[in-house]
């Protein structure tokens, strides 16, 4: 799969990867600041925005490999939500390619499992997968609303998400379906110890998709990682609280 990517700025290499159903436009509010000191490459996930999609390559490994092919030889990766799971797997598959890893509102498992309570209920996320087949546009809108629920700036953030969704080509239905399958089934907890680069988990205090209680579990699974909780934020902190998110990222990526 050939993925869409675009590079701007100069300096240290930095990769940005968005989440399920979205596209590279979500990073727009950060670009002016990040490109001052970094050469920023935004990558669109398989079947999202301008990226191609091969339905025969629906595994997390295939998505991670496609992102690695589109990324610079070595870079700092900042990845959001499902993009964070893709980046986690990429860091295990090709540790020499990722200098640092900032995971924004992401988790090794998005659904609740045994000894993993701080996640979404399986049936709740599963209902999105079922509805996606019948009413894709409405389902995506519901997912956008879920991402901002509880945020101090919910209305503003939802407006930004809707706007940015229209700035790039629509995601392919099969890619959306397979992406939801990844959200439902991927569990990377046993792989976190294999990630050798510095890691930052940037969590939203009010996130309903990645409940903040997951921070305690991450401390156990990855004791060397930095974990930072942004107050008042839900699932898209870099949109609702851009300056706060930039400060947090700057402290980690330099």
Q: Is 207 a catalytic residue?
A: yes
Query: In sequence order, which residues have a C-beta less than 8 Å from that of residue 247 and are 6 or more positions away?
Result: none
33 is in an annotated binding site: no
165 is in an annotated binding site: no
147 is in an annotated binding site: yes
The residue assigned the tokens 């191609």 is 52
5 is in an annotated binding site: no
103 is in an annotated binding site: no
Per annotation, catalytic residue among 207, 240, 241, 245: 207
Q: Is 5 a catalytic residue?
A: no
DSSP 119: S
Per annotation, catalytic residue among 5, 51, 79, 81: 81
238 is in an annotated binding site: no
Per annotation, catalytic residue among 18, 48, 235, 241: 235
DSSP string, 150-214: T-TTHHHHHHHHHHHHTTSPPPPHHHHHHHHHHHHH---GGGGGG--S-EEEEEETT-SSS-TTH
Strand positions, DSSP E, the chain: 5-9, 12-17, 38-43, 75-80, 98-104, 199-204, 226-230
128 is in an annotated binding site: no
144 is in an annotated binding site: yes
Q: Is 38 a catalytic residue?
A: no
Q: Residues forming the annotated binding site for substrate?
A: 20, 81-82, 143-147, 235
* Residues annotated catalytic, as ranges: 81, 207, 235
Annotated binding site: 20, 81-82, 143-147, 235
């Amino acid at each position: 799969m050939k993925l869409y990517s675009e590079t701007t700025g100069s300096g240290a290499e930095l990769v940005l990867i968005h989440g399920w159903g979205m596209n590279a436009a979500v990073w727009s509010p950060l670009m002016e600041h990040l490109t001052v000191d970094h050469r920023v490459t935004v990558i669109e996930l398989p079947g999202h925005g301008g990226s191609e999609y091969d339905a025969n390559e629906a595994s997390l490994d295939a998505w991670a490999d496609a992102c690695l092919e589109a990324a610079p030889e070595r870079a700092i990766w900042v990845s959001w939500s499902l993009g964070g799971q893709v980046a986690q797997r990429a860091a295990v598959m090709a540790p020499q390619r990722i200098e640092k890893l900032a995971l924004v509102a992401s988790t090794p498992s998005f659904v609740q499992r045994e000894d993993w309570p701080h996640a979404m209920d399986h049936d709740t996320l599963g209902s999105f997968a079922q509805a996606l087949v019948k009413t894709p546009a409405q389902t995506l809108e519901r997912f956008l609303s879920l991402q901002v629920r509880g945020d101090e700036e919910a209305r503003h953030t939802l407006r930004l998400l809707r706007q940015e969704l229209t700035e790039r080509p629509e995601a392919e239905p099969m890619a959306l379906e397979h992406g939801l399958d990844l959200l439902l089934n991927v569990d990377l907890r046993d792989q976190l110890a294999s990630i050798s680069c510095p890691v930052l988990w940037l969590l939203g205090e009010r996130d309903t998709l990645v409940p903040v209680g997951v921070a305690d579990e991450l401390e156990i699974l990855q004791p060397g990682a930095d974990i930072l909780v942004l107050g008042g934020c839900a699932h898209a902190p870099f949109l609702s609280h851009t300056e706060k998110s930039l400060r947090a990222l700057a402290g980690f990526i330099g």
